[in-house]
């Protein structure tokens, strides 16, 4: 993959529009191929989705008012992804999923910028808590979230049913 000169470039984070489902699909599949251990979904499951399904999925996310599908762009190239979603059982809680930054753009604050946008959205809609799961041993992700104020709750759960890999839950109180 072409090296990306992002040293002095600004990171732009914006919501994905419904028609951008091919971009969303490509970023998501790259994330699952590049960092399979970080995610509960598998590349095999996601790669099997039809284009209709990808379009439906992003259209729902872009129009529900309860989802925030985000893309990070540096020097005109999409390099990162995150999806924030209001919890189905608790309207004051938002969950963060699918955080990924392309390897050539890491360590430059791209994930921090995605997280800032997700937090601003959550605060703007009056949410009280943001929550996410991080695979135990994923130090880059854990430090990213800790720097933003998230703390491990002490709860762990299998990354997916039957998996030996465990996720630790992390939470940030947004009020105050
Ligand atoms: C975790 C990940 C999203 C971080 O993205 P990033 O854009 O490099 O992160 P940032 O540049 O915004 O860094 C924010 C903080 O993360 C931490 N961090 C980033 N890369 C790190 C690394 N390689 N090792 C340790 N900590 C790291 C640091 O605390 C950093 O803060 P600092 O700049 O004060 O040192 C990226 O490495 C990634 O996509 N990994 C694979 C997928 C993944 O693990 N997703 C998270 C699922 S919960």
For a ligand 1 pocket test, name from 6, 31, 41, 107 the mutation site with the most ligand atoms within 8 angstroms of its C-beta. Answer: 107
Q: What string of pLDDT tens digits covers the 176 residues of the chain?
A: 344 555 556 899 999 999 999 999 999 999 999 999 999 999 999 999 999 999 999 999 999 999 999 999 999 999 999 999 999 999 999 999 999 999 999 999 999 999 999 999 999 999 999 999 999 999 999 999 999 999 999 999 999 888 889 999 999 999 75
Domains belonging to the chain, first-starting first, are: 11-173 (3.40.630.30)
Residue nearest to atom 4 of ligand 1 (CA): 111
Which residue, by CA, sits nearest to atom 44 of ligand 1? Answer: 38
- How far is CA 75 from each of CA 27, 67, 93, 106, rounded to the nearest angstrom? 16, 26, 33, 14
CA of 140 to the centre of ligand 1 (A): 4
Beta-strand pair 151-158/11-15? unpaired
Mutate to test the pocket of ligand 1, among 144, 160, 168, 169 (most ligand atoms within 8 A of CB): 144
């Amino acid at each position: 993959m072409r090296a990306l000169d992002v040293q002095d470039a600004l990171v732009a984070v914006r919501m994905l529009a419904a028609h951008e489902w091919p971009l969303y699909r490509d970023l998501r599949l790259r994330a699952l191929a590049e960092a399979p251990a970080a995610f509960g979904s598998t590349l095999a499951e996601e790669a099997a989705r039809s284009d209709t399904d990808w379009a439906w999925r992003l259209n729902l996310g872009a129009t529900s008012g309860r989802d925030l599908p985000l893309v990070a762009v540096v020097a005109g190239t999409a390099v990162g992804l995150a999806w924030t979603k209001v919890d189905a059982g608790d309207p004051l809680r938002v969950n963060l999923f699918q955080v990924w930054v392309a390897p050539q753009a890491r360590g430059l604050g791209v994930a921090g910028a995605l997280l800032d946008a997700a937090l601003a959205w959550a605060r703007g809609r009056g949410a009280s808590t943001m929550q996410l799961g991080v695979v135990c041993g994923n130090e880059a992700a854990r430090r990213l979230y800790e720097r933003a104020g998230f703390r491990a709750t002490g709860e762990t759960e299998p990354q997916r049913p039957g998996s030996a890999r465990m996720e630790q839950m992390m939470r940030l109180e947004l009020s105050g």
